[in-house]
Amino acid sequence: MRFRCSKSQQMLIAENLRFVKRFVSQNLPPVQLEQLRELTRNFSLSLKCGDLLLLSGGWYVTHAGLIRLAKRCHCSGMQVQPVRQLSDQTMSRYAFRATVYKSRTCRGFVGYGDADPSNVSSLVRGAEMRVAETRAVNRALRKAYGIGICSVEEIGTIPNRVEKLPPQNTNGNGNGTGPKVRDRLCQLIRQHKLDPELVKAYAVDFCGTKTLRDATREQVQNFVQQLADWAEKDRNALLCQLNSYTRPKQEVVA
């Protein structure tokens, strides 16, 4: 069932379609145009204002777009704090925890973000602390407002550069994660008695993809490394993060 658009939504959809044909591409596939319509209809994101970007054939929301969405929805506030046990200034590695409160009575939506020289673009090297903070805020905002697509600032490397990386030996594994990375992940789950489904949900959110199969080898390696460090340094904090991906029972009621 398709919901009716308000007049303002119809105007914004038309504006986005004109903008994308004029400044992005005149020959976008119908599926990308339909995705743009749905994102506009559901979240009132504007291409002209820089809320969305098209990178490597996929739509990505921006930090500015998420902040504007929170403002439109009258977000009550957010809290950001460093996770010191997972940060190492000498290695330029930082981790942050962000909590978004949609209303005064909201218990909060939590998101974690980390950054180090291995998982950020060369364009932002030296600003890992700010990248980690922004990633945490973006993940919390996406969770609060139900946006499944990754934010631009969460991308570890520029998509076009990812495609140009030397091919990895995947031993027949189509998604490029490789058996060694997968085996290490399984070992961590067993060793620290973690819930596999929650770990998978966290991995998808960390990588910013729709499924874990869509993630690059580098993204999965970064996730496994963070999971290992976190489990070793503060298992309770890790369990708290994993539990944030547990769906409340009320959600299954139509």
Report residue 49 as tokens: 């204002």
DSSP states of 29-96: -HHHHHHHHHHHHHH---TTTTSEEEETTEEEE-HHHHHHHHHHTT--EEEEEE-GGG-BGGGTBEEE
Predicted confidence at residue 179, as pLDDT, reads 55
Per-residue model confidence as pLDDT tens for the chain (254 residues):
455 678 888 999 999 999 999 998 888 899 999 999 999 999 999 999 999 998 878 899 999 999 999 999 999 999 999 999 889 999 999 999 999 999 999 999 999 999 988 888 877 888 999 999 999 999 999 999 998 887 877 776 443 333 333 333 333 344 444 457 778 888 888 888 888 888 888 888 877 777 878 777 777 887 888 788 888 777 877 887 788 777 654 443 43
- Domain ranges, ordered by start, for the chain: 7-48, 63-160, 170-248
Among positive and negative, which fits the CA dihedral 8, 10, 14, 17? Answer: positive
Which residue do the tokens 């303002």 mark?
8
Q: Is 230 exposed, middle or buried (0-12, 13-18, 19+ CB in 10 A)?
A: buried
> How far, in whole angstroms, is CA 208 from its chain's centroid?
4
* Vertex 58: Cα angle to 150 and 207 (nearest 5): 35
Q: At what angle do helices 196-207 and 235-243 cross, to 10 degrees?
A: 80
**Cα–Cα distance for residue pair 194/235, rounded to 1 Å:** 10
The beta-strand segments (E) located in the chain are 52-55, 58-61, 77-82, 94-101, 109-115
145 three-state secondary structure: helix
Predicted confidence at residue 182, as pLDDT, reads 77
